[in-house]
Amino acid sequence: MKKKLLSLFFVMTMIISLLAGCGDKNKETEDLGGDNVDVENGVEDVDDEGEDNTGSEIEEQTNADGEGKVLNIWCWNTEFQSRVKDFYPGYVHDDASGTGKIGDITVNWIITPNEGNAYQNALDAALLEQANATDDDKIDLFLIEADYALKYTASDYTMDVKDLGLTDADMAQQYQYTKDIVTADGKIKGSTWQATPGLFAYRRSIAKEVLGTDDPNVVQEKLADWDKFNAVAADMKAAGYTMLSGYDDSYRTFSNNVSGPWVQDGKVVVDDNLMAWVDQTKMFTDAGYNNKTSLWAPEWSADQGPEGKTFGFFYSTWGINFTLLDNSLADADGPKEPGNGIFGDWAVCYGPEPYYWGGTWLCAATGTDNPSAVKDIMLKLTCDKEIMKNITEVTQDYTNNMEAMNELANSDFQSAFLGGQNHIALFAEAAPKIDMSNISSYDQGCNEEFQGAFKDYFDGNASKEDALNNFYTNIVIKYPELTTE
Amino acid sequence: MSKKKSSCVRYTKWGYIFLIPFFLVYTIFSLIPLISTIYNSFFENYMSGLNQIGPTFVGFDNYIKLFKEANILKYTWNTIIIWLLGFIPQIVVSLTLAAWFVDLRLKLKAKGFFKTVIYMPGLIMAAAFSMLFFSIFSDAGPVNDILMDLNIIDQPFRFLANVGGTRGLIALMNFLMWFGNTTIILMAGILGIDTSLFEAAEVDGARAFQIFRFITIPQLKPILVYVLITSLIGGLQMFDVPQILTNGRGLPNNTSMTLIMYLNKHLFSKNYGLGGALSVMLFTLTLALSLLVYRIFVKKEN
Amino acid sequence: MINKNDNGLLGLYIRRAFSYFVLIFLMILCLLPFYILIINSTRAHPDIQKGFSFLPGSYFVRNFKALLADKNLPVVKGTINSFIIAGLTALLTTYFSSITAYSVHVYDFKFKKVIYSFILMIMMVPTQVTSLGFIKLIRDMKMLNSYIPLIVPSIAAPIVVFFIKQYMDAVLPLEIVEAARIDGSHEFKTFNKIVLPILKPAIAVQIIFAFTNSWNNYFIPALVLTDKDKKTLPILIAQLRSADFLKFDMGKVYMMIALSIFPIVIVYMFLSRQIVGGVAMGSVKG
């Protein structure tokens, strides 16, 4: 009987492992028995590799034609994908499978949405497994945002771009701040194709009706500081419009002008300027100067469309061409030209305070088996003047090349979407003013939770103190290592 | 009886063999995780970004933290209040419907059809149902459109920016998903009551409501208790609906944050210590409730 | 006497009218959300934003195509994944629960009582409370993004064991098993060839319930599956709430919800009698 029991047990385990085989890639079952790497060891493994990964080894890999055939790119939306699709020479996208080809290399897009730290959690899990992953499953290139860039650039999971073969000369025309933000221990750990100064985008027709003019210079005069901004908000209300749409709209103009980072010595610090945002937004809400929507909500998007009754939105470079433009159309599939919705009814000005919003950096993952493909993507899309100028001309995105941008700023470049305005000139003016000295690796979580917690205050469901306490409670759930007031 | 037993002896081993799959799988996927959950609840163990913190033995610190810092009582209260908001109408409506369906004098037509319709929401994916409610009850959604067209309100009612609105919607969904099921269970229960009791009551000239009050309800008591406890256990697990409706935030003001949503946050950020402590408490609670259900079964058997 | 009867009749009519009124109200409450769902899945995004209409639009096919074309929301793969997981789960859980129930029902061994009591006691303990250890185990076993942790655990399903045991008590006399033994049938064969067919009605109901539960399951799969191409429908639905992911085309959103609900609704329409009967059957003794 014992024998039979035993054999049954074996049959069971066999069935289970067989199932394991078809449920997932075989490598995982192989791993099952073998190395039982716990998380800490995983980190150390990567450490070692990071130190070994000096130029010589990579050259060896490239020279020996040891490059992998699969390039895995991790990101959180399709913005970068469309840049590669449209501007990287030789990239062919296969709509059916959602993958692409560069020569004989297959490009996989692993897209995880950002919200609730989902992207970072998925990325972290994959990076911790990077040392054990097969070449075809290794992350090669991943994207990071300013809000949490430090977390990755300070780690050994990102490669020094110079080890990839990018030189100072290649990056000479990039805005200095875009390099500073990803520099750790003197090494530049990433590269970006965009600079992201923020502006205030407003509806020309509403400006004409209420302010008597849609000239960006005059409108800027009327919005030059917060007192003036609030006065215009009152005029808008009187005319039946709202100044802003949502609670979070002006958040970045305040959060970028704080006196210190979110986290100082392991403690969460709420800056006075953030409370100024709270007070202003509460005032706007109670006075009816906004439409009580939330960032990215359908109602918020609708306010940017033909039916919208909102004067303007704080948007940075990518937001204007990536989000605002799409939202302004009446027919999403129709031509992007005046006549479709409120295309052409927008204009931009600086607004009351300089700020930036977002920004996406490309990082090479330590252990990548496609270093030269990664290097070439960085080189072409973030350092090549002609390609970057072309990106701006076609998409109106603001690219990270001073020479190209200044050329466009001084040219007769016009944006049809913005009613013929040369918005590049405004961006070129604002970009050098960007100051990212107060960022921390916790910014995404802090910003998200802070905005979320105070929504209750704006809605009248919580007092200011309660909202602040909720923020403290939630931030510690997300980051157990932090302390609060 | 004894004869049968002896003839069975050589087959007994098959009894054991047939139990192997169940207990093997149960051990691997439930018992070991349970032990590991309990074990982990005594350690500080989480990820700080890309770095592992712990595991460090901290005794009962995690449990203390849950009560002192984490508002666990508030989340428990949220869960209970939302459950009650759904359960009370559910039991009232289900009892009424069950009584009507079995009432021979009332002779309702299309009973099968009604039963089919009211049971249907119970089979719907809670995630999809919640997403549907999120869409149709949004500030600019169909429900607000309809209410404004009918001139019932002149401004959109912001359901999800309102404590009662959010809790009410979750309770409404729970109600819709469960009242059909409960009706059918209670109907079966009523049909199981000895008919002579009803006949005797009618001979005595009792009215429909009196029969319901003094015969049906007392006779149904065990089943009512069963429905109550299983529903409470289900209520403690409440997750899909509020998670998707509030996008995991438990808005407004954390008033729709349920216990499992809170647990999910810890699982997601890989905080094994606190998550473990919370799990152990939930386990203890549900096990106690399960034992109550068990006692009902045992009583019934006797 | 006659008078009293009239009163009684009148009262009955009023009660009946009231019952129908309540039933119709509840019916509308149950069906209205789905009506809105169907209507809006046939309308274009800008029309949906303009306001609700009780009449369907003409965008059904376009919304459907737009949904299938969205590469970030692999609906077709999600549907297939959901089918595989729910299908295998339903088969495994009913087969192994039957065999477990059979063991307790037919054989007389030492710990039978203890074992069955144990199964009854753990019956109501939800999987959520051990999910932490479960996920940790799955991670250590390198089975994240595998379907095994979503399928195999269903072999041990105490509630299904309980239900089938109840059914066996009602329909499976031990004499049938004895007779098979006398005919020299092997125990395993007896179960497969003789017992299983007898259990068919109960198994059919349980397959439907197990399939539905697995199809609708969100909590555990969301923790296990992170690969885009491995995700099941509920996880994809939940993603609709992550706003920067999808640039809200509400027509597409409604279509996606419709797609994940209607397979079950259609099956239900055909089998509602058995399903509703099954609920009652399981509870008679409970």
Same domain, A312 and A168: no
CA C183 – CA C277 distance, rounded (Å):
35
CA C193 – CA C185 distance, rounded (Å):
10
Test B268 with A124 for CB contact under 8 angstroms: no
pTM above 0.95, yes or no: no
Does B255 reach chain A within 8 Å, measured CB to CB? Answer: yes
| CA trace torsion C203, C204, C206, C210 (10° rounding) | 130
pLDDT at B9: 55
CB A174 within 8 A of CB A383: yes
Which of A12, A26, A28 to probe the C interface (max C CBs under 10 A)?
A28
pLDDT at A12: 47
CA C218 – CA C236 distance, rounded (Å):
10
CB contacts of C244 in chain A (<8 Å) are: 76-77, 113-115, 296
Same domain, A176 and A132: yes
Q: Is residue A320 part of a domain?
A: yes
pLDDT at A33: 35
Test C254 with B286 for CB contact under 8 angstroms: no
Q: At A297, is the secondary structure helix, strand, or coil?
A: coil
Same domain, A316 and A460: yes
Q: What are A73's strand-pairing partners?
A: A109, A141
Identity of the residue in B116, B126, B230 whose CB atom sits nearest the CB atom of C272: B116
Provide the residue count of chain C. Answer: 286
Same domain, A185 and A239: no
pLDDT at A62: 42
CB contacts of A474 in chain B (<8 Å) are: 254
Q: Is residue A53 part of a domain?
A: yes
- Listing DSSP states for B67-123 in one string gives HHTS-HHHHHHHHHHHHHHHHHHHHHHHHHHHHHHH-TTT--S-HHHHHHHHHGGGG
What count of Cα atoms within 13 Å lies in the side-chain half-sphere of residue C109? 20
Same domain, A379 and A316: no
Instruction: Name the neighbours of B, counting chains with at least 3 Cβ pairs within 8 A.
Output: A, C
CB contacts of C242 in chain B (<8 Å) are: 247
CA B236 – CA B123 distance, rounded (Å):
19
Return the closest-CA partner of residue B98 out of B204, B202, B227, B3.
B227
Does A89 reach chain B within 8 Å, measured CB to CB? Answer: no
Identity of the residue in C22, C121, C240 whose CB atom sits nearest the CB atom of B290: C121
Q: Is residue A94 part of a domain?
A: yes
Same domain, A109 and A42: yes
CB B53 within 8 A of CB B45: yes
Average pLDDT for chain C: 87
On the question of pLDDT at B117 being above 60, the answer is: yes
B256: confidence class by pLDDT, cuts 50, 70, 90: very high
Same domain, A395 and A281: no
Q: Is residue A419 part of a domain?
A: no
CATH of the domain at A285: 3.40.190.10
Overall domain count for chain A: 2
What is the average per-residue pLDDT within C230-255?
A: 80
What is the average per-residue pLDDT within C49-65?
A: 87
pLDDT at A25: 38
Same domain, A157 and A257: no
CA distances from residue B43 to A214, B38, B63, C74 in whole angstroms, order as listed: 62, 10, 11, 39
Test B127 with C22 for CB contact under 8 angstroms: no
Does A302 reach chain C within 8 Å, measured CB to CB? Answer: yes
Does B252 reach chain A within 8 Å, measured CB to CB? Answer: yes
Same domain, A73 and A105: yes
CB contacts of C226 in chain A (<8 Å) are: 112, 122, 125
C282: confidence class by pLDDT, cuts 50, 70, 90: low
CA A4 – CA A10 distance, rounded (Å):
10
Percent of all residues in chain C with a pLDDT value above 70, rounded to a whole number: 93
On the question of pLDDT at C82 being above 90, the answer is: yes
Identity of the residue in A20, A77, A125 whose CB atom sits nearest the CB atom of C146: A20
Same domain, A445 and A471: yes
Test A452 with B249 for CB contact under 8 angstroms: yes
Does A95 reach chain C within 8 Å, measured CB to CB? Answer: yes
Considering the domain delimited by C63-285, tell me its CATH architecture. Orthogonal Bundle (1.10)
Same domain, A264 and A365: no
Same domain, A73 and A142: yes
Instruction: Name the neighbours of A, counting chains with at least 3 Cβ pairs within 8 A.
Output: B, C
Percent of all residues in chain B with a pLDDT value above 70, rounded to a whole number: 96
Domains of chain B: 61-299 (1.10.3720.10)
What is the average per-residue pLDDT within B170-197?
A: 91
Local confidence pLDDT in tens for the 485 residues of chain A: 444 444 544 444 444 444 444 433 333 333 333 333 333 333 333 333 334 444 444 443 443 456 788 999 999 888 899 899 999 998 999 877 778 899 889 999 988 877 777 888 889 888 988 888 888 889 999 999 988 888 899 899 999 999 998 999 999 999 998 998 899 888 999 999 999 999 999 999 999 999 999 999 999 999 999 999 999 999 999 999 999 999 999 999 999 899 999 999 999 999 999 999 999 999 999 999 999 998 888 889 889 998 899 999 999 888 887 789 888 988 877 888 888 899 999 999 999 999 988 889 999 999 999 999 999 999 999 999 999 999 998 888 899 999 999 999 999 988 899 999 999 999 999 898 888 888 888 998 899 899 999 999 999 989 999 999 999 988 988 888 899 87
CB B246 within 8 A of CB B265: no
Q: At A242, is the secondary structure helix, strand, or coil?
A: strand
Identity of the residue in C102, C234, C241 whose CB atom sits nearest the CB atom of B125: C234
Q: Which residues in chain C (124-163) have CB-CB distances under 8 A to chain B?
A: 124-137, 149, 152-153, 155-156, 161
CA distances from residue C108 to B4, C104, C113 in whole angstroms, order as listed: 10, 8, 9
pLDDT at A213: 93
Identity of the residue in A157, A292, A462 whose CB atom sits nearest the CB atom of B158: A292
Non-local CB neighbours of C110 within 8 Å, separated by 6+ positions:
none
C97: confidence class by pLDDT, cuts 50, 70, 90: very high
A-C CB pairs within 8 A amount to 83
Bond prior to C126 in cis (omega within 30° of 0): no
Return the closest-CA partner of residue C272 out of B122, B144, A68.
B122
Test B49 with A292 for CB contact under 8 angstroms: no
On the question of pLDDT at C191 being above 70, the answer is: yes
Does B60 reach chain C within 8 Å, measured CB to CB? Answer: no
Q: Is residue A333 part of a domain?
A: yes
Q: Is residue A339 part of a domain?
A: yes
ipTM: 0.88
A308: domain range?
198-356+435-478
Buried b or exposed e, range A105-114, using 16+ CB within 10 angstroms: bbbbbbbbbb
Test B123 with C187 for CB contact under 8 angstroms: no
Distance from CA of B120 to the nearest CA of C (A): 7
CA angle B198, B202, B205 (to 5 degrees): 145
Whose tokens are 């496609």? That residue is: A370
On the question of pLDDT at C246 being above 60, the answer is: no
What count of Cα atoms within 13 Å lies in the side-chain half-sphere of residue A399? 30
pLDDT at C215: 94
Q: Which residues in chain A (347-366) have CB-CB distances under 8 A to chain C?
A: none
Test A24 with C145 for CB contact under 8 angstroms: yes
CA angle B75, B78, B83 (to 5 degrees): 130
